[in-house]
Amino acid sequence: MKLRELGEDRLLARLLPALPIHSGVIAGAGDDCAIVDGPKKGNLLVLKTDCLVERIHFKASADPALVGWKAMMRPLSDFAAVSGLPEFALITLIVPATKSLSWVEKLCRGTRRAASRFSVSIVGGETSSATGPTAISVSVAGFVERKRFVTRRGGKPGDPLFVSGRLGGALRGKHLRFMPRIEESRWLTANFRVHAMMDLSDGLGADLPRLAKASKVGFKIDVEQLPLASGATIAGAISDGEDYELLFAVSARDSARLQAIWKRRFPRLALTQIGSLNRRSKIENRKLSSGYVHFQ
């Protein structure tokens, strides 16, 4: 059945009952606003929005359940970047009326599965018809302890630089199936002083210079040491993008202890020191080409 034959009210009647709702939700989808418990005293509110657009971020032929998964997991990866815990999501679905109900239901199933993986409640959203490609926008609210959030800004000269997992080749499949490193990020900030952190979405070559710039430092990496995904090249590890791994800087004196206990805590996820931050130095930074840039 096409959405055009169904109408918005009946579409919502199909989609809303299945939404995951956890504690703290006082009014959710179907009300004018979501009304939820705020963060506990001493915690900060964390907000993030992200969108996927057909033909830009996914092919029309992509499995809708994986598109839904990715639409939810992308903003959650940003929560990992700041060491926040996501709690509530709003979903906006802009979809042509010619799309089938079953396509939309599969998309929503993927979104729900992703939300449930991190105990996120879906508390509202918006559907709109459109004359163009499908777009899914997900906004997430959550919290982080006031003494525990991390930005890109705190890196210092001499800090070793680490990445989780393996880089490159994500477009062969990982970009639709990745797992945000929230657990790893929360563990890091519970056990170490993380100076600066971000998630790698545009590729190390685009993202690392952003972290360095925000921290007002330079960097030096050994491209031969980059942890490559199976089949990926060094060039791909630098500029393919969509790795959704953590890039972070800690104090040099934490480096050995971090590597030792990471291996015990996350035996199946690589942790690699790829280089270090240093005083700003334009020459060494030229090695990195830029990643994917929108509108160009």
Interface with its own copies by CB under 8 A: which residues? 3-4, 6-9, 11, 26-27, 31-39, 41, 43-51, 53, 55-57, 78-79, 81-82, 84, 88, 90-92, 94, 97, 123-133, 135, 137, 139, 141, 143-144, 149, 151-152, 198-199, 293-296
Structure tokens at 229: 């995904």
- Shorter beta-carbon distance to its own copies: residue 144 or 274: 144
Q: How far is CA 154 from CA 114, 207, 218, 241, 250, in A?
A: 30, 15, 13, 23, 9
Task: Work out the angle at residue 197's Cα, subtended by the Cα atoms of residues 226 and 57, and round it to the nearest 5 degrees.
Answer: 75
Minimum CB separation of residue 47 from its own copies in Å reads 4
DSSP 33: S
Minimum CB separation of residue 67 from its own copies in Å reads 14
DSSP notation for 176-205: HH----HHHHHHHHHHS-EEEEEE-SS-HH
Neighbours of 228 (CB within 10 A): 14
- Shorter beta-carbon distance to its own copies: residue 283 or 293: 293
Minimum CB separation of residue 256 from its own copies in Å reads 27
Minimum CB separation of residue 127 from its own copies in Å reads 6
Residue 151 in contact with residue 256, Cβ under 8 Å? no
Minimum CB separation of residue 230 from its own copies in Å reads 27
User: How would you classify the pairing of strands 271-278 and 218-221?
Assistant: antiparallel
- Shorter beta-carbon distance to its own copies: residue 140 or 250: 140
- Shorter beta-carbon distance to its own copies: residue 36 or 277: 36
- Shorter beta-carbon distance to its own copies: residue 112 or 232: 112
